[in-house]
């Protein structure tokens, strides 16, 4: 690789990765403000205009807080737990395409960190690693509630991984490739004269399955059984404080962001706008379109937090297998 290629690679990497990292505080703000809007209360409104700086303040607070390590924990695994979730969460970002390509000095570069020809498999396999942080963290905490929360969380995540994978198989049959870039390319144009050629319209059932599984995978409401406050104190991270807790939190939100990105890529045409084929317009709007769609999904994720719905754990795990 030449120097220029390295520079482009690194800049792509930093831009995409930092976007995902920085989406986290924005997501938290949107979640809290949105919940406040729905529940008719002010929400965060002290720090900055509209409480916009609240996440920054939170992050600072997390950084400078005392980090008590309980006596009974297994110190090595306790310290490594949060990172075992954060690293896979950051690695998934690599295969998400955020746009078509751009040209530098006559060579075209894809707007994607790594165009792997088995991208979908890569994504599924790396995202299945996040459960180790939960399992080891819960176990190392040496707390009843942590361990139980970890087991519940893990069994829920693994149960819903299979429907997630099978829904993705549906997408693969349509496009005949594992590369997420080519999948997004395959959704260009329209079919039946009216509808955009998106995955949602090609695979409505697959999308539904994927959608439900995505909720369960990220432990959002109504699938928040691992963190039922009434039964288990807070789930697997009961014993975690300070920055370690924040790391778990960050990984969770990053997972949400990437899974929304995957949903956009598989079912909402990636960077393609409906009815528009003009290349220049696409080139400019395309990058934003994907981000917008991601944000749209995130907002949906949070709004559903306010739906008071609980399932029994058994019903949940049982429901996963027929899917």
Partner 1 sequence: MKELFFIFFSLYTIAAALGVVLAKNPVYSAFSLILSFFGLSALYVMWGATFIGMIQILVYTGAIVVLFVFVVMLLDLGSVVTDHSHSWLTVMVSAIAVWFFSLLMLRTFNHTPLVAPATPLAESNTRLISQLLFTEYLWPFEILSIFLLALIIAIYALTRPDAADKRKVHP
Partner 2 sequence: MEAFLPVLVLLAISLGLCVGIFGVSTLLNPRNLPPVATKLNPYECGVKPEGGARQPFHSQFYLIAVLFLLFDVEGVFFFPWALVYRESLASGGALLLAIAVYMGLLTLGLVYIFRKDCLEIM
Q: Which does 9 bind (CB under 5 to 8 A by kind): partner 1, partner 2, none?
A: partner 2
Spatial CB neighbours of 184, under 8 Å, sequence gap ≥ 6: 97, 265, 269, 270, 271, 272
Candidates 128, 95, 101; CA nearest to 13 is 95
Q: Which is nearer to partner 1, 56 or 118 (CB)?
A: 118
Residue among 100, 68, 66, 91 nearest 13 (CA): 91
Tokens of 146: 């942590």
CA angle 174, 178, 184 (to 5 degrees): 65
Beta strands in 17-130 (DSSP E): 101-104, 107-110
For partner 1, which residue of 23, 89, 95, 154 counts as binding (CB under 8 A)? 154
Three-state DSSP at 284 gives helix
Which segment (27-35, 135-143, 212-220, 262-270) binds partner 2 by CB under 8 A?
Answer: 135-143
Least Å distance, CB 320 to partner 2, is: 9
Token duo for residue 105: 């000095």
CA distance 235 to 133: 13
Residues 110-129 that bind partner 2 (CB under 8 A): 113-117, 121-122
Interatomic CA distance for residues 221 and 50, integer angstroms:
25
Considering beta carbons, is residue 172 or 221 the nearer one to partner 2? Answer: 172
Instruction: Verify binding: residue 160, partner 1, rule CB under 8 A.
Output: no
- Give the residue with the Cβ less far from partner 2, 34 or 127: 127
- Residue 132 contacts which entry, partner 1, partner 2, none (Cβ below 5-8 A, type-dependent): partner 1
Instruction: Output 7 or 37, the one with its CB closest to partner 1.
Output: 7
**Of 13, 69, 79, 151, which lies in the binding site for partner 1, with binding defined by CB under 8 A?**
151
Backbone angles phi, psi at 64, to 5 degrees: -95, 5
Q: Please give the residues from 27 up to 86 whose contact with partner 2 meets the rule CB under 8 A.
A: 62-72, 79, 83, 86
Least distance CB 297 / partner 1 (angstroms): 24
Among 35, 57, 37, smallest CA distance to 46 is for 57
Buried b / exposed e over 249-270, threshold 16 CB at 10 Å, is bbbbbbbbbbbbbbbbbbbbbb
From candidates 27, 94, 123, 257, binder to partner 2 by CB under 8 A: 94
Binding residues for partner 2, per CB under 8 A? 1, 9-10, 12-13, 17, 21, 62-72, 79, 83, 86-87, 90-91, 93-94, 113-117, 121-122, 139, 141-147, 151, 155, 158-159, 161-162, 165-166, 169-170, 172-173, 176-178, 233, 238-239, 242-244, 247, 312-314, 317-318, 321-322
Binding residues for partner 1, per CB under 8 A? 74, 77, 116-118, 121-122, 124-126, 128-129, 131-132, 135-136, 139, 142, 147-148, 151-152, 154, 158, 161, 178, 313
């Amino acid at each position: 690789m030449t120097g220029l290629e390295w520079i482009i690679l690194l800049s792509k990497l930093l831009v995409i990765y930092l976007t995902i990292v920085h989406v986290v505080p924005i997501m938290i703000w949107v979640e809290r403000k949105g919940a406040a809007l729905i529940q008719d209360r002010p929400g965060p409104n002290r720090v900055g205009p509209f409480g916009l700086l609240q996440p920054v303040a939170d992050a600072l607070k997390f950084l400078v807080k005392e980090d008590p390590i309980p006596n009974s924990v297994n110190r090595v695994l306790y310290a490594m737990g949060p990172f075992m979730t954060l690293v896979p969460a950051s690695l998934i970002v690599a295969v998400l395409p955020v746009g078509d390509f751009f040209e530098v000095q006559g060579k075209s570069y894809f707007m994607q960190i790594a165009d792997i020809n088995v991208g979908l498999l890569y994504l599924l396999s790396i995202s299945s690693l996040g459960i180790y942080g939960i399992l080891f963290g819960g176990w190392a905490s040496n707390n009843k509630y942590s361990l139980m929360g970890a087991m519940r969380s893990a069994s829920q995540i693994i149960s819903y991984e299979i429907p997630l994978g099978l829904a993705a198989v549906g997408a693969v049959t349509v496009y005949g490739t594992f590369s997420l870039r080519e999948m997004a390319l395959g959704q260009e144009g329209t079919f039946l004269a009216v509808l955009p050629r998106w995955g949602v319209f090609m695979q409505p059932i697959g999308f539904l399955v994927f959608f439900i599984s995505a909720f369960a995978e990220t432990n959002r409401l109504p699938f928040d059984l691992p963190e039922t406050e009434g039964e288990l104190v807070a789930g697997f991270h009961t014993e975690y404080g300070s920055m370690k807790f924040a790391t778990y939190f960050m990984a969770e939100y990053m997972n949400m962001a990437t899974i929304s990105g995957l949903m956009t890529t598989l079912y909402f045409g990636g960077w393609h706008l409906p009815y528009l084929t003009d290349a220049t317009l696409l080139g400019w709007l395309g990058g934003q379109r994907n981000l917008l769609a991601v944000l749209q999904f995130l907002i949906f994720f949070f709004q559903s937090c306010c739906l008071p719905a609980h399932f029994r754990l058994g019903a949940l795990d049982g429901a996963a297998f027929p899917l």
